[in-house]
Chains A and B, each alone.
Chain A
Amino acid sequence: MADKTMTAEEAVSRLESGMTLGIGGWGARRKPMALVRALLRSPVTDLTVVSYGGPDVGMLAAAGRIRRLVAAFVTLDSIPLEPHYRAARESGSLELTEIDEAMFLWGLRAAAHRLPFLPVRAGLGSDVMRINPGLRTVTSPYDDGETFVAMPALRLDAALVHVNRADRLGNGQYLGPDPYFDDLFCAAADAAYVSCERIVDTAELTKEAPPQSLLITRQVVTGVVEAPGGAHFTSCAPDYGRDEEFQRRYASMPWPRFAERYLAGDERAYRAAAEEDA
């Protein structure tokens, strides 16, 4: 069976400008930040990013890599509003497809199930319909005759997610309380790159955790990246919590200074700089 391990750089080298990229996690929680940092060191740009947005969106927006964002919100959780995303919106530097959280989930599900759309009871009556003029409705063919939004599939060229453990084949395990939507991101994508805190032998995965913690099946995974601290500064329960101090620095530092200090070198340099400044 294929060993799918690769470096973050190798994973990112398979991405191309103009792609539609799904990013897992939620807000400032279990974001694949090592992969995002590798992406920021690459020349890839002009992206359509699909995300329950956190600092992944803020950083890629600040670096001018996002042409279009598909999201229901962008937040840092303990800092409610993402400052770099905010600046990008207020300066008009990115296009936005703003949809409801449930519409987002139904869109991922439709993509994972190879359906063109799924009906969802959300969006009607709200301005989501006005700001997304391409959205269509569908009427129930049964006696109820109710009208729904036909949420189009959010098919992705690639997905980036971060989990606690994985094996070399691409089986991914989460050990925290919430899977978020990471398995759906992978299933909705043509290629999925899974970073993890630690790569372990397959048998190790279920030694101390139940089989239902195996969130991602290798079938939908293209590459596995071992990235200890790979979600930093977002949380990766139970391995570590959010680095609130670093997040405050990220939110308050001018972007060029932040990028120069933390993103000029490789992942090891990032860790060293973060530790030095702690």
Chain B
Amino acid sequence: MSSESGKGTRTDDGGATRAEYCVIACAETWRDAGEILASPMGPIPSVGARLARLTFSPDLLLTDGEALIVRPDGTVEGWLPYRAHLELVTGGRRHVMMGASQLDRFGNQNISCIGDWARPTRQLLGVRGAPVNTLNNPTSYWIPRHSRRVFVEKVDLVCGVGYDRAAGARHHRLARVVTDLGVLDFATPDHAMRLVSVHPGVSVEQVREATGFDLVVPDRVPYTREPTAAELRLIREVIDPDGIRAREVAG
């Protein structure tokens, strides 16, 4: 049980918001990543990738979400149409942070459909590039609403491949899962999902409660680190002055 995480949301002026802890946790995904493409999917991972690029991972490459590689100020430095992007995936010089409609304890991910694939109760996007991503380049996940609907015992369709099904594939690596409640990874002997940190204001119990499978929880669970003053300024004034992050994660 956690000895560090307690109750109480930080409300003091100038303190980081929950959305900003999420940004920090996403940014950390690309720390020490070197000269690779950061592929964030969703608003908060995008803010996180740009923060990493502007601070501790200056060699990162960023896309404009379409066909261009851009610097944080929008300067074009490369061309990356879809076909080249797929080559970059299989070449491995990329770390993607994908979404997941469902995720299980070994990191199997579903974005295709809910229910029986042959006749789904809810058709979603489709497998997209999740199979190729997870067998070729480091993959992380971003879950803006940590709940039992997402964190399930068994996903309905395996799109992104988890550790129990990858059979040690040579380029398979799931790095971390960032949610609105905390950070998780797979650094356990059998690669079962483990709670790494909770965001300030979140309790370990709250994470357990919102997870539909038995989570590995160490004796001590620290809080997600505080952003520095410089990081907060970059997030608020340079990267996301319109506050899109707060629309994705409240608080």
Contact = CB atoms under 8 A, between A and B. Distances in A.
Contacts of A180: 81-83
A90 B122 contact: yes
7 contacts: A73-B127, A100-B128, A100-B131, A122-B132, A124-B167, A126-B134, A179-B81
Interface residues of B, number: 43
Contact of B157 (A120, A122, A127): A127
Contacts of A52: 82
A117 B145 CA distance: 41
Interface string A123-164: 111111001000000000000001000000000000000000
Contacts of B125: 73-75, 80-81
Contact of A126 (B81, B119, B124, B158): B158
Contacts of B135: 121-122, 124-125
B130 interface: yes
B123 A90 contact: yes
Q: Is the interface of A mostly helix, strand, loop or mixed?
A: loop
B195 to A, nearest CB: 25
Contacts of B117: 98, 127, 131
A: interface residue count bin: 35 or more
Interface of A: 26, 52-53, 71-75, 80-81, 85-86, 89-90, 92, 98-103, 105, 120-128, 131, 146, 177-181
Interface in B116-165: 117-132, 134-136, 157-161, 165
A26 B79 CA distance: 17
Contacts of B112: 98
A-B interface, 4 closest residue pairs, ranked by CB to CB distance from nearest: A73-B126, A122-B132, A177-B67, A102-B132
Contact of A125 (B79, B120, B167, B171): B167
Contacts of B131: 100, 102-103, 122-126, 128
Contact of B81 (A74, A120, A146, A178): A178
Contact of B128 (A73, A81, A120, A177): A73
Nearest to B159: A126
A71 B112 CA distance: 11
B242 interface: no
Given A102-B89, A177-B68, A180-B82, A124 B169 contact: yes
A178 B126 contact: no
B124 to A, nearest CB: 7
